[in-house]
Each structure stands twice: as C-alpha cells, then as structure tokens.
C-alpha cells in the first residue's frame, strides 16, 4: 500500500535519503567536481552491490580499497541467474542430497527383498525336486479346490495321485509345533500317518507320500490304489444301488475309519461317495478315505458356525441354529452315504426333513434302524459312532 503524502512533503528534512546516494537531496555539487565525484559514486555502488563485501553499514562512508575476490561461476549463476541455470544446479544438488538420504531406505528395501529371493530359490528347488522324483500323467478329476492327476514315482514306478491346490483355495490352515502355518489337509494326513506307524496302504486313509509348498500352489503326492474307483462310480456300475450285504461290508470299514479319525481328533467334514475309494483288486471291496481339504482338528466340545462340505448334505441342526458339532455331523454323513448306495436317488437334507425322501421299507429292520439312528433330525437323538460300530446290523 502506498503511504499518503505528508502535509510537509516539501520539507527537505522528511525526504528519504537513497542508500546509493550519500548526499543530502538539496546539496548542490559544483560542475568542477562532478566528474571525480561520479567516479567515487560508481566505486561506492560497486562495493555496495558486491555480495561478498557490501554491507548496509557502509552507507554514507568513504569506501575502503579491498581486494576483490573472484566469485565462483556457480555462485554467480545461483545469485544472478536464478530461475534458469541456477535453478538446474540447485535441483541437481538437492537431488544428490535426496539420493544420499535415500541410501538407508534403499538398503532396507534390499534387505527386505533378500527373503523374497531366498523364497523364490527354494520354490524353484522344490519344483525341480518334484519334477525329478515324480512323473505326472492324465487328469483324474477336478473341483473347486484343486485338480488331481495320475502319476508314478520314477524310482520304483509306484502309482501316485498328484493333487494341485491353489494357495488362495486353501480353506483351512493349522499352526504346527514350530509356529509355521500349514494346510490342515497336510497336517491331518501327516498325523494319521504317524498314528498308523505302518507301511503304505495299511490305513483306511490314503497315505501322503510327499508335499511341496510352492509360491502359488500346494502339491500333494498320495498313494493311488490300483485298480480302484470312487464309490459313486462303483455303485453306478452295479446298476445304481448295492445289495444290502455289500453295503454292510463297505459301511463296517467306513465306521472303523471315522473312529480312527475321532481318536486323532480329526473332523473330515465332507464324507460322501465321491470321497471314498473302492479297491476292486480283490473279491472283497476295500474302502479308502480321501480328500481332507476342508477338515479340521476338533477339540472336546467343539462346535462350528461356518459350514464346510457339500451343501445338500448339511446336517439339519445347522438350519435350526446355524451351529453343528463334529461327531453327530459325521454320523449324519455316514447315514447319507448308506442311503445313497441303497437307494437309486441322491440325498438332500431339506427333502428328508420335509419327508419328501423316505427310507425304503424293503430293507431289513436292522438296516432301517441303523439308517434312522444316523439320520435322526435332533443331533442328541443321533446314534454315536461307537454305537454304530457295535450295532447289530454290522455284526
């Protein structure tokens, strides 16, 4: 804002004196001394404008002769040419200072990348070991959680089943004794193998031979009984339903298998005809339990809200209070399996609860009693696994 003119503006005493002119405004200089005085003024202005020597305290004093320093070109550019080359040089210096400041963060980034590189090397090594040890062949089946291929072990031609599961499809994980998170499917099969302490093929559960935790997928190598097929295909080849005596042979083995799971606190959660293999190499069919992808470790008094398994086989208690428990649910699933292999129709919980699906009266009384005990609507009325093992129909 401009200052208003003072009333006594004409008064010489209130007029501002210029810093570059030491004279008073009304002082008159004779023409004879103008030239040397002008030279002195130029010297004074030069000294005042010199950034290395000038000072506001020199105003009005006779300039002293001082040795003029040579100002570096860069400093001149910074002081006299700001906005062009000086700005570029300043930006370069700032950039270099920023790079120097970023060196610790770059070191931290490199240190963070090192575990990633180690993980990649381990993954490549594991994949190479798998490729050299096993030969993968045709696709056997696939579902929402992974794909299963036939194959064999290259050292002795042992038939194997190779299961590929994407990491984002691993539903359940377990914390092992070392604090590492592993797939429950792997943890459950390893625990069953330790509990069996027998050679491969002696347990009702197929044995886990190897497993590889890779970057984006999990590979499980399991024994593959030959010849075999799943129970659903086996029943289809028998005309859609089994005779009661053959069904009894299969159910007796299945009850023993789930009791072994109960002793090891493993809740399978998805027992159905597709997850049961039948070895057909002998006169008596042998049952093998597979697919622990949605299994979990059950503690005493455990109950669950999120249902994992086949939706049409959900136990009725989940529809009532959205909660189910391990062993009554297992008994229910055994009843579902027995119903499907004895009737030429699929089982659905909702239809059974609404009495739209009924147990055939052509079955023996003991078989009907076994089925009704498994498929009791109230879980408290359901037959326990131990009671099923001792049921008169299985004797």
* Mean pLDDT across the chain: 79
Which stretches does DSSP call E strand in the chain? 134-142, 147-153, 159-166, 173-175, 181-183, 208-213, 217-223, 228-230, 266-267, 276-279, 286-289, 296-297
Residue 28: what pLDDT?
A: 45
First and final C-alpha spacing in the chain: 111
Phi, psi for residue 178 in degrees, rounded to 5: -90, 5
Active site residues: 270
Residue 23, token pair as written in the block: 């004279």
Query: Which tens digits make up the pLDDT trace of 197-220?
Result: 666 666 899 999 999 988 788 999
Six-digit token pair at 325?
């428990």
Q: How confident is the model at residue 368 (pLDDT cuts 50, 70, 90)?
A: very high
The two tokens of residue 214 are 């890779």
What is the pTM (predicted TM-score) of this model?
A: 0.69
Predicted confidence (pLDDT) per residue in 58-99, tens digit: 434 444 444 444 545 544 444 444 444 555 555 655 555 555
Which tens digits make up the pLDDT trace of 258-267?
999 999 999 9
pLDDT score of 86: 53
Identify the pLDDT of residue 269: 95
**Contact (CB, 8 A) for 146 and 134:** no
Which pLDDT score is estimated for 152?
97
Domains of the chain: 133-224 (3.30.200.20), 228-395 (1.10.510.10)
For 91, phi and psi rounded to 5 degrees?
A: -65, -40
């Amino acid at each position: 804002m401009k200052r208003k003119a003072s009333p006594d503006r004409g008064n010489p005493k209130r007029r501002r004196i210029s810093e570059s002119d030491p004279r008073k405004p009304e002082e008159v200089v004779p023409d004879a001394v103008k030239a040397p005085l002008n030279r002195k003024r130029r010297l004074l202005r030069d000294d005042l404008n010199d950034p290395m020597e000038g000072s506001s305290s020199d105003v009005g004093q006779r300039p002293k002769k001082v040795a003029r320093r040579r100002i570096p070109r860069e400093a001149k550019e910074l002081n006299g040419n700001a906005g062009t080359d000086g700005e570029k040089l300043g930006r370069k210096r700032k950039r270099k200072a920023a790079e120097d400041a970023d060196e610790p963060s770059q070191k931290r980034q490199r240190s963070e990348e090192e575990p990633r590189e180690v993980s990649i090397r381990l993954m490549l090594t594991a994949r190479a070991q798998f490729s050299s040890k096993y030969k993968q062949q045709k696709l056997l089946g696939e579902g929402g959680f992974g794909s299963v291929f036939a194959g064999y072990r290259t050292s002795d031609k042992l038939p194997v089943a190779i299961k590929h599961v994407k990491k984002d499809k691993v539903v359940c994980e377990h914390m092992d004794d070392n604090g590492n998170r592993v797939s429950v499917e792997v943890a459950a099969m390893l625990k069953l193998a330790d509990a069996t302490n027998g050679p491969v093929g002696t347990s009702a559960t197929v044995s886990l031979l190897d497993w590889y935790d890779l970057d984006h997928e999990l590979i499980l190598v399991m024994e593959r009984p030959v010849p075999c097929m799943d129970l659903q295909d086996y029943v289809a080849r028998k005309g859609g339903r089994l005779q009661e005596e053959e069904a009894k042979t299969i159910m007796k083995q299945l009850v023993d298998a789930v009791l072994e799971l109960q002793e090891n606190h493993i809740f399978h959660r998805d027992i159905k005809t597709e997850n049961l293999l039948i070895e057909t190499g002998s006169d008596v069919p042998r049952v093998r339990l597979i697919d622990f992808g949605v299994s979990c470790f059950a503690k005493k008094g455990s109950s669950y809200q999120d249902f994992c398994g086949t939706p049409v086989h959900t136990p009725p208690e989940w529809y009532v209070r959205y909660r189910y428990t391990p062993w009554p649910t297992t008994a229910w699933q055994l009843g579902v399996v027995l119903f499907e292999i004895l009737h030429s129709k699929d089982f659905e919980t909702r239809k059974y609860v609404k009495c739209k699906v009924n147990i055939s009266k052509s079955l023996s009384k003991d078989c009907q009693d076994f089925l009704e005990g498994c498929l009791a609507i109230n879980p408290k009325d359901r037959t326990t696994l131990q009671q099923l093992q001792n049921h008169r129909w299985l004797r």
